[in-house]
Amino acid sequence: MAISDFIIPTIFEDPLTKAVFTTRRGGISQAPYNELNLGDHVKDDLKTVLKNREIVLKECGFKAIAWMNQTHSTKVCKVALANADSKIDADAIVTTDEGLGLAVMTADCLPVLLADEKNGVFAAVHCGWRGIYGNILTHAVNMMKENGAHKIKAALGPAIGFDSFEIGTDLKDKFLAAGAPLSAFKDISIKKTGKALCSLTELASFELNGLGLDSKDIEILPFDTFKDPEKFFSYRKNNITGRMAGIIGKLV
């Protein structure tokens, strides 16, 4: 069994802050979920998924990792180490507990990891277009601030890239009407297809800027999950596939 191939953001400075983005490498799942599938809601063998999660837990060094039941909502929940094993119906989670990792699963959607390292407040956010349109990052940051966060940094993980993510121009128009930047979209033969290209990272960065995060407070990992099937799961590319995770927390 291979060692898991984690991508490590560099924006977080505290040596006790653990932040990783998993890839599909290093687990025990069989095709089409090979190898490190962490999603228990796909049709992979559940025992295998739990073993993959154990691999990640051991390599990260947390006491526990909280996993969400994600539904493309804008719901944010605070999680404690004591209830990390509970079912969490949310698309963003926040904690102030040391030893607890927060996980967000993706396979093209944008995983966003947030931290105020000085005050020990952390969040993991699932940013598909629905969540971003519903301002889920605003909800997550507000909950972080309610729990003592002031200076927040963000790592935006592997997601479907600008040139790979097609949406309808009607959705593009809805985003623009809601105040999204024009730079987050590119037209592609509009008269023929009615489609546009969309940048999830641009939309997320714009929202984070509005919440007080400067560009220097935001790290964008330059990976396109759709274009690299050997390294990443991609729902848009394969439909039946596994899930990766972005994980953050403070080690004890």
pLDDT band at 1 (very low <50, low <70, confident <90, very high): very low
Residue ranges, CATH 3.60.140.10, the chain: 17-161+200-250
pLDDT band at 187 (very low <50, low <70, confident <90, very high): confident
pTM: 0.96
Q: Which comes out higher in pLDDT, residue 191 or 155? A: 155
Q: Which comes out higher in pLDDT, residue 190 or 209? A: 209
Q: Which two tokens stand for residue 22?
A: 């998993």
Superfamily of domain covering 17-161+200-250: CNF1/YfiH-like putative cysteine hydrolases (3.60.140.10)
245 bridge partner residues: 105
Locus of tokens 């994600």: 70
112 bridge partner residues: 125, 156
Average pLDDT score over residue span 186-198: 80
Query: Which conformational region is residue 179 in: left (phi greater than 0), alpha (psi within -120 to 50 degrees), or beta?
Result: left
Chain segment 38-80, per-residue pLDDT in tens:
999 999 999 999 999 999 999 999 999 999 999 999 999 999 9
Give the DSSP H/E element, type plus range, for residue 139. Answer: helix 136-146
3-state DSSP helix/strand/coil percent for the chain, to nearest 5?
25, 25, 45
Mean of pLDDT over the chain: 96
- Per-residue confidence (pLDDT) for residue 165, from 0 to 100: 97
Q: Which two tokens stand for residue 132?
A: 């971003």
Percent of the chain whose predicted confidence (pLDDT) is above 70? 97
Chain segment 152-167, per-residue pLDDT in tens:
999 999 999 999 999 9
Q: Are the beta carbons of 247 and 93 closer than 8 angstroms?
A: no
